[in-house]
Structure 1
Amino acid sequence: MLPSFWIPSLTPEAKATKLEKPSRTVTCPMSGKPLRMSDLTSVRFTPLDGSVDRVGLITRSERYVCAVTRDSLSNATPCAVLRPSGAVVTLECVEKLIRKDMVDPVNGEKLTDRDIIVLQRGGTGFAGSGVKLQAEKSRPVMQA
């Protein structure tokens, strides 16, 4: 009989590990290089209806839209940020409209490929969203 199989530290595969002290520098999750304030880009989401207050916006299922096409944004919609304006647009808009002229439709500035930042989508909340999930770390848990 296994002792408390639901507690990670008591499972047969659990090994005693020493916790490492976290780094004092914030690093980029993609490159691992330290981040500076000049590396950060402001992101501006366009609300669905500008007249709705913040509390009313929270209760809606569709809160934000593409800054160019006004298509609704969700966690299942692939999106990108345009670096000069910070506007969030759909990837469909980027491929069909923006890449042709390489001009930011919000403020009219010229764009490069580096100025189009593709956003990583979050999960939809349905069974891992098509991604195979595997636990990599076991951490201490609260025990009564």
Structure 2
Amino acid sequence: MTRKSKQPGGHNPLTYAERKRLKSSGYGTQSTRLSTESQLPFGHCALGLSPIEGDAVATNSGHIYSREAIVQYLLTKNGELKRQRAEYERQRVEVENRRHVWEEKNRKETEQKFVTKDQGAMSSALVVREDAAAASGGGVARGSSTSSTAKTASGNTKGKEIGQQNTLQHVSYWLTTSQPIHQKGTSGNDGDFHYAAEIEALPTPPPDRPTSPMSGEPLKLKQLIPLHLVHEESDEKKSGMSSSNINTGKVLCAVSHKTITTQPTIAIKTTGQVMLKSVYDELAKPTMTCPVTGKKFKEKDVLELIKGKSGFAASGNVVAKKYNPTLT
């Protein structure tokens, strides 16, 4: 037996046959080779994953969408964000209300402590005066001192009862009346309200605008760029078997009329024309003029579209991986 097999981590806990048997149960990293049918061809909607029926639009990230699909997506997301913002504001207002209640409670407790302390000082001074009057005044003073003594005794009795209740609460903690009361937003020890912690505990505020379904960047309806896609006639239309006005053939370059598959492609924002990058570099870029419409454009009006992919390894990332936990 080799020395490597004796090292910790020097061998796999499972054999190859065992890993193959556990593959269907999701053990370990799962990887698969993406074939051509798993790739999105150029000219298909990145949201609906189907040929575009109707107007085509693009975002600043270069992804192509069907106008109907992306508008419906934005409407749905705007409704969801509106509900999330309302829920977030409700929770924030609830925290603010608890803060106001806690501040008002503390203010009243402070006032009550001050009043109690002030009344205690006044009652002590009154007892001293009554005792002095009783010592010098005779029977009437003796009667008043008796009443003051009765008041003091009753106060001591109430103090003993409160002390017994506190002792019972600490000792007999299993009783229902002795259970601590937990209030949301306060600590269990001193009852302090931690405003910063309450705000941090709130969920993340929803964004102001919905994000793009592919790039994740904020997206507005007015940021959509209309495209004029030129399609080749499909086999059904050529044979006359299809009477639909929707052309599902491949997209052609607006200048050279070559089929666009996996080549780099350029779109001009101001005119919406789609052409191959090689054609753009040769015909449009030297004069900064659209070869189809003859309109001038600037460098910022040039948008590089996301090119289509195929099953060939050179076309892009054709291997998908899913990472799952293992024993190592």
TM-score (norm 2): 0.32
2:221 aligns with one of 18, 37, 54: 37
| Alignment-mate amino acid for residue 212 of structure 2 | T
- Tell whether 2:44 aligns with 1:26: no
Matched residue SS, 1:6: helix
**Residue of structure 2 in register with 1:87 after alignment:** 273
Gaps of 5+ in 2: 1-17, 31-76, 82-209
| Alignment-mate amino acid for residue 4 of structure 1 | L
| Alignment-mate amino acid for residue 218 of structure 2 | P
The 5 Å alignment of 1:41-56 reads: 41-49=225-233
Number of equivalences? 124
Matched residue SS, 1:5: helix
Are 1:46 and 1:87, in contact at CA under 8 Å, matched by a contact in 2?
no
The 5 Å alignment of 1:87-126 reads: 87-126=273-312
Whose helix proportion is higher, 1 or 2? Answer: 2
- Tell whether 2:7 aligns with 1:7: no
**Residue of structure 2 in register with 1:19 after alignment:** none
Matched residue SS, 1:42: strand
Gaps of 5+ in 1: 15-21, 139-144
Residue by residue over 1:45-96, the C-alpha shift from the partner in whole angstroms, topping out at 9 and shown as x without a partner, is: 11235985658954x6xx332111222222x222111111211100011111
Relative contact order (C-alpha < 8 Å, sep 6+): which is higher?
2
**Residue of structure 2 in register with 1:141 after alignment:** none
The sequence identity of aligned pairs, in percent, is 19
1:127 Cα deviation (Å)?
4.2
Structure 1 residues 69 and 128: CA distance shift in structure 2, 3 A:
closer
Distance (Å, rounded) in 2 between the aligned partners of 1:48 and 1:128: 26
- Tell whether 2:86 aligns with 1:68: no
Answer with 1 or 2: which has the greater Rg. Answer: 2
Distance (Å, rounded) in 1 between the aligned partners of 2:272 and 2:307: 17
Matched residue SS, 1:81: strand
Structure 1 residues 115 and 56: CA distance shift in structure 2, 3 A:
closer
Query: RMSD of aligned C-alpha atoms?
Result: 3.5
Are 1:28 and 1:34, in contact at CA under 8 Å, matched by a contact in 2?
no
